[in-house]
């Protein structure tokens, strides 16, 4: 109580005008070598202060229902939420008043000292100001994403309209949902599917808190057609390629506790993992290889450093604000190395001759295959992966079980969830269906590059990331990413090394001047003989790279010469050109042949 009393006297809350004035500072994103990648410059006109009475009631209700349901009655904090946060160690303890304190002080560290001062100031401001004044201050300093602060600039950025009482419940729920993590929930940073889930969460809160009836909520739809694409490209400040990169970096910074307003308040510099030479090579190769191809062709490329998870190149495409490197797509046979890894973990022999099945019944679906294993109708898994024979791998998935196949991919590094959606599952988020056997479940190029990097790093897994360090305006490091490098399979380094060694030797070599492991894959368009997309994913010990080629909407993909798109055509060519350019002049490096699970046959 004495400490509380002293802190009450000494600590004070800054006004929203003072907080907004601090947001004039520029945040610099740097390449891994310290050179400038880009600047996040404050948008001068995007911080219009809105008085309480000018804030639409629907937006006020949506924010209170989502962020702090007891706001109008509590003493500056929610004891129930605070207790839950202290017991579980998980967020959820900060209501609107505490969030304002956090934003106004610029201190968002997860420490008891910060929480204590936050409680003191929340109590003090609640005694000195009305709830309307607190809410007015809060809503005007929070970020809604896209460089906006306050509801007026947010309404204009997302819906192209002035802020007034014509705002709909659907629009209010969308904007209220942005507050938690704007760089993640923006549909043009993630997907409309993800943003819709966040919107539905807010709508459910409005029903639960009594602001809307269930019937009213059911009658409303997510306002997809009304949401504008971001304008900060081309004629604005950055190219599409840099826009995607910036959005991914900002989303990652939010997840580690450094949202954009905190970075701006401290005029911080962010050191990314991007290698400017690799980034330039990726942009050059994609543009050159797709020049002259049909206009609907799209492509992306992500390159990850094995053993560290550092993303050295990230190209989401130069066509629009849609980030093709951060969008999940079906992987086809590019998923086979994960099924193989799951089998190796359970003792299968890649050189045992197997009869290639013409038909496999797996989890209620019948798969039929043409004979791709030669005249004898038999081939080893080593031969099958080189021939793109699906039968032996679907048969292997059936023997292992769907859970084991999923676990093999998870162990290699495929994340459990992306933007809140569980990966490697049916759309219900629970069942694992037969699609896992043929790479039907969509994954992002960044996921694939990161998981293949585990094989390149002798079985050591590390989370792919774009942020390395954060420095304050004096150059002092205030945050640095810790290493999470660990054995991928059963936490057993020797086993992980053997599995990775075998996978590396089984895959086809993709480069002329040095050993390299490469796997291609195709994603079939409906029941046709054409493909909707193609993959090329592979690695050397220095770099793991995933290339995807497809289009905005699923369709038959034929190149300029009328040839069917497969992973072995344009995707493979892009991969080879990029990897050759990156490795030019570097010495050859490859693991010793002894690092295998079973004796390897020369190829």
Tens of pLDDT, residue by residue over 76-128, are 766 565 555 555 444 445 789 888 888 777 666 666 666 676 777 777 778 78
The end-to-end CA distance of the chain, in Å, is 75
Domains contained in the chain, CATH given: 1-266 (1.10.3810.10), 281-583 (3.40.710.10)
Residue pair 568/520 in contact by the 8 Å Cβ criterion: yes
- Residues designated as active site: 67, 333
pTM of the model: 0.85
> Would you put residue 98 in left (φ > 0), alpha (ψ -120 to 50) or beta?
alpha
pLDDT tens digits, 565-593? 999 999 999 999 999 999 999 998 765 54
How distant, in Å, are the alpha carbons of 110, 310, 338, 380 from that of 103?
14, 30, 44, 60
Where does the pLDDT of residue 278 fall: very low under 50, low under 70, confident under 90, or very high at 90 and above?
Answer: very high
Range of lowest pLDDT (79-88, 188-197, 257-266, 508-517): 79-88
Torsion of CA 337, 341, 347, 349, to 10 degrees: 20
Determine contact, residues 501/596, Cβ cutoff 8 Å.
yes
pLDDT at 594 over 50: no
């Amino acid at each position: 109580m004495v400490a509380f009393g002293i802190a009450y006297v000494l600590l004070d809350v800054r006004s929203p005008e003072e907080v907004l004035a601090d947001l004039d500072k520029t945040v610099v994103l740097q390449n891994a070598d310290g050179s400038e990648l880009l600047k996040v410059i404050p948008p001068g006109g995007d911080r219009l202060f809105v008085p309480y009475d000018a804030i639409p009631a629907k937006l006020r209700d949506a924010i209170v229902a989502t962020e702090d349901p007891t706001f109008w009655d509590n003493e500056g904090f929610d004891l129930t939420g605070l207790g839950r946060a202290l017991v579980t160690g998980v967020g959820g303890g900060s209501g609107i008043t505490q969030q304002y304190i956090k934003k106004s002080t610029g201190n968002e560290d997860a420490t008891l000292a910060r929480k204590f001062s936050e409680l003191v100031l929340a109590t003090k401001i609640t005694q000195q100001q009305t709830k309307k004044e607190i809410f007015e201050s809060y809503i005007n300093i929070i970020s809604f994403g896209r460089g906006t602060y306050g509801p007026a600039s947010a309404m204009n950025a997302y819906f192209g309209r002035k802020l007034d009482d014509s705002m709909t419940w659907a629009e209010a729920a969308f904007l209220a949902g942005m507050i938690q993590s704007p760089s993640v929930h923006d549909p043009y940073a993630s997907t409309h599917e993800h943003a819709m889930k966040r919107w539905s969460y807010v709508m459910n809160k409005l029903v639960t808190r009594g602001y809307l009836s269930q019937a009213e909520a059911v009658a409303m739809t997510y306002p997809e057609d009304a949401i504008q694409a971001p304008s900060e490209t081309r004629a604005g400040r950055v190219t599409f390629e840099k826009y995607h990169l910036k959005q991914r970096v900002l989303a990652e910074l939010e997840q580690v506790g450094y949202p954009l307003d905190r970075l701006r308040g401290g005029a911080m510099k962010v050191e990314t993992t991007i290698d400017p030479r690799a980034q330039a090579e990726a942009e050059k190769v994609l543009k050159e290889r797709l020049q002259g191809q049909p206009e609907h062709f799209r492509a992306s490329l992500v390159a990850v450093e094995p053993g560290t998870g550092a993303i050295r190149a990230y190209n989401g495409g130069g066509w629009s604000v849609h980030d093709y490197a951060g969008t999940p797509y079906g992987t086809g046979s590019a998923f086979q190395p994960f099924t193989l890894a799951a089998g190796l973990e359970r003792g299968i022999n890649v050189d045992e001759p197997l009869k290639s099945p013409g038909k496999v019944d797996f989890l209620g679906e019948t798969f039929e295959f043409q004979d791709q294993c030669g005249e004898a109708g038999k081939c080893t898994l080593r031969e099958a992966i080189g021939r793109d024979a699906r039968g032996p791998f679907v048969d292997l998935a059936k023997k292992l079980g769907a859970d084991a196949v999923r676990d093999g991919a998870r162990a290699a590094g495929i994340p459990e969830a992306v933007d809140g959606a569980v990966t490697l599952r049916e759309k219900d988020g629970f069942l694992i269906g037969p699609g896992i056997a043929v790479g039907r479940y969509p994954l992002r190029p960044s996921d694939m590059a990161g998981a293949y990097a585990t094989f390149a790093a002798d079985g050591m897994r590390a989370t792919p990331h774009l942020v390395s360090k954060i420095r304050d305006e004096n150059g002092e490091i205030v945050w640095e990413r810790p290493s999470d490098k660990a054995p991928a399979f059963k936490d057993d380094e020797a086993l992980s090394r053997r599995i990775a060694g075998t996978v590396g030797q089984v895959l086809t070599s993709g480069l002329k001047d040095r050993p390299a492991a490469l796997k291609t894959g195709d994603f079939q368009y409906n029941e046709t003989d054409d493909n909707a997309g193609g993959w090329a994913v592979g690695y050397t010990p220095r770099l793991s790279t995933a290339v995807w080629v497809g289009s905005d909407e699923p369709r038959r993909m034929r190149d300029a010469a009328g040839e069917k798109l497969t992973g072995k055509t344009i995707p493979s060519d892009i991969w080879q050109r990029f990897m050759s350019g990156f490795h030019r002049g570097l010495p050859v490096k490859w693991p010793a042949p002894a690092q295998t699970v079973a004796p390897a046959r020369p190829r």
